[in-house]
Structure 1
């Protein structure tokens, strides 16, 4: 069941989203060669708590950190580590969730570490562009499949594969609510969008094949062929007009 949020609930998610978006913007300056993924996590948690909010990911189904930090071929759910030190040319995806008075915002970005290759930069841009292509269909009366189809068409049109095993989702009181939002699909299918729906829309794309696997830590997802992947996510509200981005 897709939960329609009240204006009061949306306002709480909006306040949460402002902090999530602020953190992701600040990480543009924070991420650099020589820092560990644990330092990114520490920065995220410290900032969330300084705003009197709670890191949504910490302890979620046993996840041990406040941010998912995934490097290069790692798609999502990378566990931060003091031993994992970023180097020039890496790309790193950071996924952040904030809980404010019981309501959650969820967003992610992929960053270049220092100078990165043109091909890596192009992949990061394609993930972001795929999100904004899908956003065009986040309007009352559209079908859920319209979003999925638009993301897929944009990503594959740029020469990338769209991950099948992980999807976007509703978000609100819970991290993962109905509906699931694949980044691939058929236009004109699925539930019709209504004002007050809140979604975490998150294209996840790869340079090579879309097949992924979970590492032995039971969290970190990597591309099977070891090629780079990128992730771009925002929390979005369906309104009576243009969609509202809560985490930008």
Structure 2
């Protein structure tokens, strides 16, 4: 069953979302050459403590850290440690979450470490980010879940890949419902699977974490022996972007964006809902 939220519950999720945005700002600044992924985890812990919020990754299914740090060919669920030292030219997905009064926020972004990144990596991140926003813009009253999947896939498929070939839309992981738990129904594919049907109708109170994961090569992944770290099977680098969104009677609000998504949605011809926190 899909959990439908009240305005008051969405306001709590907005509070959690703003904590996640603060984590992103702090960890993005700390993602410099010479830093370890454990350093970033400690930065996230401090932000959560400063805001009086709880982490939703720590202990989730046994996950041992506050955030996920996924470097280069690691797609998702990378575990922060002291051995992984960031180098000039790396890219890293930082996936963070927060809980405020029992309500969750969850978002991820791809950061560039240092300088000298290949144009194909810059374009990979842009395509992934923009496909996420295409999915967010499709989160409209009356649409169905498959419309969000279609918007994400269509955007990616239409982008020419530098050097030729196609981008790999990761198949085994996708977005999800979010609210009183971090991962809830429905599961959101980043492509259209004909056998899954249209999915539920999008109504006020419907909340989703939209998170495309795209690689420079294969859509296929494997899990390492730590039972968490997910890598591409061909070793190609990947990008991951995510926001948590609530659909209201006045439209969508991006709960994990500082401005609620107003500026970007306006570019896409969509009016964001008013911020429930005023």
Give yes or no for TM over 0.5: yes
Give the unaligned 5+ runs of structure 1: none
Alignment match, 1:61: 61
- Say yes or no: does 1:177 pair with 2:184: yes
- Say yes or no: does 1:221 pair with 2:222: no
What's the CA shift string for 1:124-182, capped at 9, x where partnerless?
Answer: 11110000111111011101101001101111222412111001000011111111111
Q: Segments of 4+ in structure 1 off by > 6 A?
A: none
Alignment match, 1:121: 122
Structure 1 residue 68, shift from structure 2 partner: 0.3
The farther-off stretch of 40-49 and 187-196 is 187-196
Structure 1 residue 35, shift from structure 2 partner: 0.2
What's the CA shift string for 1:75-105, capped at 9, x where partnerless?
Answer: 0000001010000000000000101111110
Alignment match, 1:72: 72
What's the CA shift string for 1:47-85, capped at 9, x where partnerless?
Answer: 111110001100000000000000000000000010100
CA contact (8 A) 1:107 1:232 kept: yes
CA contact (8 A) 2:245 2:255 kept: yes
Mapped partners of 1:156, 1:28: distance in 2: 28
Alignment match, 2:215: 206
Which runs of structure 2 are paired with 1:94-243 in the superposition (5 Å)? 94-115=94-115, 116-158=117-159, 159-185=166-192, 189-243=198-252
What's the CA shift string for 1:171-196, capped at 9, x where partnerless?
Answer: 01111111111100169822110000
CA contact (8 A) 2:26 2:43 kept: no
Structure 1 residue 26, shift from structure 2 partner: 2.7
Structure 1 residue 241, shift from structure 2 partner: 3.1
Alignment match, 2:162: none
Mapped partners of 1:204, 1:157: distance in 2: 16
- Say yes or no: does 1:17 pair with 2:20: no
Mapped partners of 2:138, 2:187: distance in 1: 16
Structure 1 residue 28, shift from structure 2 partner: 2.8
Please give the secondary structure, in 2, of the residue aligned with 1:83: coil
TM-score (norm 2): 0.87
CA contact (8 A) 2:205 2:246 kept: yes
Alignment match, 2:41: 41
Please give the secondary structure, in 1, of the residue aligned with 2:239: strand
CA contact (8 A) 1:49 1:55 kept: no
